[in-house]
Amino acid sequence: MSTKVTIEVDPRFENGVRRALAMMEEMEQLALTAPDGQVFNACEQAVIDKGRKLQADTLGEAVARRIEAAEKKGRRSGSVRAVAKKKTAGPNHADS
């Protein structure tokens, strides 16, 4: 009998978790259907190809979330040059 596990996932990561689970299911199916003597090579190649895609998607989503967060904050202030140098320290009263 198969047991199911329920986990809570932040909605931001739901798509990534679903893709990872789908990849695991594909690997299992590939391992069961690959010809004898070719299981490891078939699964290894699929993991490399699908793993790269999963990593690229994950990276893209993380960068998109960072950009979205930065846009919510507003534009960063640019640097501004002072018009003239001014002395900020007060007079030295120790000499009096």
> pLDDT over 70 for what percent of the chain?
79
Q: What is the pLDDT of residues 34-82, one digit of tens each?
A: 999 999 999 999 999 999 999 999 999 999 989 988 888 876 666 767 6
**Token duo for residue 27:** 């690997």
The pLDDT value given to residue 12: 87
Compute the distance between CA of residue 14 and CA of residue 58 in angstroms, rounded to an integer: 11
For the stretch 64-76, pLDDT in tens is 989 988 888 876 6
Question: CB atoms < 10 A from the CB of 16, how many?
Answer: 15
